[in-house]
Amino acid sequence: MLNDFRFGPGQFTVGLVEFKFTGSDVVAFLQSQSTLDLRSLPAESFHLASFLDPQGRLECYGWLLHDIGSFSYLVPASLAERTNLRLNKFLISEDVTISDPTPVNVTFLLGLVDPPEAAARGTLFAEEAWLCRAPLPHLPVIPEDCVETWRGLTGWPSFDGTDYAFELLNNLRLYDLSLIPNKGCYPGQETVAKIATRRGAAYGPVLLECGTSATSGEIRSFDKKIGTAMACYEWKGRFFISAFLLRDFRVERLKLRFTLNGQEAEATVRYYPLFSGERGEKAKELYYEATDRFKEDHDADAEVLFRKAISLDPAFGDAYESLGVMLGRQGRFQEAIDLMRRLSEVDPKSVLAHTNMSLYLMRLGKIPEAEEQKALATVKSFQSFGDEAKRKEAEASRKEQLEKDWVQRESMFRQVLEIDPEDTLANYGLGSIAVERGNWDTARTHLESVLKSDPKYSVAYLALGKALKGLGLVAEAKEVWREGIKVSAAKGDLMPANQMQQELNF
């Protein structure tokens, strides 16, 4: 049922507590106190915002609402008292008046193309959303279990405050959802910035994908606590544990064995959000599902999905083409022709749009029009050859410039090695260039020298694995990557760790 609302309109209403701000210094006060940069909050919009203590720990969270000429803060009722204390704690001489907390019901709308009047725009569950003061009469209501699953799989905080934790912001999903990077000073900013620029949070939020349901509790591995399971959600026959996991294990797609409440388990680490709310990504998701249904001869289902994909992304050329081909096979030639005309509009270089149009017009007996489309296909085909030639010329020029850059860098690194043959930066530089060139033996020599001198040089594991794979030593490459993941994760270098995990997944 959740997918019905991910790809269609829906609404749900929640009870929150509202604080209203008035006075000439409201913008300056909120800018200096919250994690939100108010320059990113135009009128008639809302955004998650957190308020921290001076040590960077979360005091309260909620939705900052910017109506025309006024600001409100909407928070879970259970956080009303501590929010009131935090908002007034640093209010000294500013011209700001904060109202008493007032219970309110607000409605979030998802999937709407045309928003109602007096609605504020924002993001919720990684989706475009609208916030209203009252529900819309004829819009479907999203059931509570769907809302909770959607919230849990995208990592958004609860509306009732039950998942609140007086924790460093870096350890929470709110770090990604409520903090605008480089916004300037606010209480706790120095601590949050230091943690972020060093190794990152010791424990951080992830999802653990597994085949069976799980309960909350300590996650242990090798007789050591490595995390805490908070809740479990079911999605498409799989189970996803929301967890706070130790840095060393927070690597996307890492296969993890652990015990939870004394039970052995195996899961795959997944990052938030589990699925995208971006229209283009959702259109692709529908397109691939439609393609599968088409292959299984479920044409009616495939048609519905293709059309939904097009409605989400009206410039999705592949969806027009696939749907048009399917309709052409069904003998629905005029509908197929209309789709191909639309394809030629969204992708003026498409040869297949005219080729298919010619075929379908021919089947309708419209010979002159078919010949015209065939001629256009020929013209665009020649144009594509020209574009391909230009592309190859540009690629050759790029490679020539890259070769010059390689030669210059190699000369510099060799000069360094003449002074110090074990210099890690120079050996890594020569090794990574050799990987790019495909000179696997040379790359291996330099990169092994790097790791001999510095076993914690995390990116060298990634490059050495590629060199070994290039030499056909796949098993050795995988072993290097596994070791590299451990080293990288322990240092907080999650980018090379994730890249090595991707290599292991293929």
pLDDT confidence band for 385 (50 / 70 / 90): low
| pLDDT score, position 492 | 75
Please classify residue 401 by burial: count the beta carbons closer than 10 Å to its beta carbon, then call 0-12 exposed, 13-18 middle and 19+ buried. exposed
Q: Can you list the domains of the chain with their CATH numbers? A: 2-140 (3.30.1360.120), 202-270 (2.40.30.110), 279-388 (1.25.40.10), 420-505 (1.25.40.10)
Q: How confident is the model at residue 113 (pLDDT cuts 50, 70, 90)?
A: low
Percent of the residues in the chain that have a pLDDT greater than 70, as a whole number? 98
Residues counted in the chain: 506
CA neighbor of 136 nearest in space, from 12, 36, 256: 12
Q: What is the pLDDT of residues 437-461, one digit of tens each?
A: 899 999 999 999 999 999 999 899 9
Cβ 435 vs Cβ 445: under 8 Å: no
Q: Quickly state the pLDDT bin for 387 (edges 50, 70, 90).
A: low
Bridge partners (DSSP) of residue 255 are 268
350-360 average pLDDT score: 89
Cα–Cα dist 137/354, whole Å? 45
Instruction: Read off the pLDDT of residues 163-196 as tens digits, 9 standing for 90 and up.
Output: 999 999 999 999 999 999 888 899 999 999 999 8
The pLDDT of residue 478 is 92
Binned at pLDDT 50, 70 and 90, residue 291 comes out as very high
pLDDT for the residue numbered 18? 98
CA distance 155 to 244: 11
Over 70: is that where the pLDDT of 94 sits?
yes
Tell me what the pLDDT averaged over the chain comes to. 91
- Among the residue ranges 131-145, 276-290, 312-326, 370-384, the one predicted with the least confidence is 370-384
CB 11 within 8 A of CB 139: yes
Burial class (CB in 10 A: 0-12, 13-18, 19+), 373: buried
| Digit-coded pLDDT (tens) for 304-352 | 999 999 999 999 999 999 999 999 999 999 999 999 999 999 999 888 8
Task: Quote the DSSP letter at residue 455.
Answer: T
CA distances from 173 to 71, 112, 154, 169, 210 (A): 24, 26, 10, 8, 21
* Contact status, residue 495 vs residue 200, Cβ threshold 8 Å: no
Confidence of residue 292 (pLDDT cuts 50, 70, 90): very high
In this prediction, residue 271 carries a pLDDT of 95
Start-to-end Cα distance in the chain: 32
Mean pLDDT in residue range 57-69: 94
pLDDT of 389 strictly over 70? no
For residue 369, what pLDDT is reported? 87
Interstrand relation of 203-210 and 127-132 (parallel, antiparallel or unpaired) = unpaired
Predicted model pTM: 0.81
Predicted local confidence at residue 391, as pLDDT: 73
| DSSP secondary structure code for residue 142 in this structure | P
CA-based radius of gyration for the chain: 28
* pLDDT per residue as tens digits for the range 209-258: 999 998 899 999 877 899 999 999 999 999 999 999 998 889 898 888 89
Average pLDDT over residues 198-203: 82
